[in-house]
């Protein structure tokens, strides 16, 4: 959860991950005021690095989602564009070689 702290004039003075004291309010990273605060504080680059660090996990989730949709016969592998089929096939081969082909949900449970 993202929480912001404001000064007496209502300007953001801090952003915290959790509400650890009274007076903090919930906020979204999509809020223009929050983005402006991060930009002014020079933190947008750090935020971009954080986003990039989650890309691998999101790719894994998407791979598992595609597998699930195919297993449930909601889509056919051949419905995907040839370039996507090739990329998915290559990733499946790599994952099978490193021994990690189970669904991401299994990692959580």
pLDDT tens digits, residue range 59-97? 889 999 999 999 999 999 999 999 999 999 998 888 888
Q: Provide the pLDDT for residue 29.
A: 78
pTM, whole model, 2 decimals? 0.51
Calculate mean pLDDT across residues 34-49: 82
Instruction: Give the residue with greater pLDDT, 104 vs 31.
Output: 31
Q: Provide the pLDDT for residue 19.
A: 64
Ramachandran area for residue 18 (φ above 0: left; ψ -120 to 50: alpha; else beta): beta
């Amino acid at each position: 959860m993202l929480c912001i702290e404001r000064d007496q004039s209502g300007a953001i003075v801090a952003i915290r991950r959790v509400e650890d004291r009274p007076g903090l309010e919930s906020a979204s990273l999509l809020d223009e005021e929050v983005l402006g605060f991060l930009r002014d504080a020079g933190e947008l680059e750090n935020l971009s690095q954080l986003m990039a660090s989650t890309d691998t996990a999101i790719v894994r989730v998407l791979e598992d989602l595609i597998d699930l949709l195919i297993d449930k016969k909601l889509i056919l592998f051949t419905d995907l564009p040839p370039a996507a089929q090739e990329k998915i096939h290559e990733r499946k081969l790599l994952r099978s070689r490193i021994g990690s082909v189970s669904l991401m949900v299994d990692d959580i449970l």
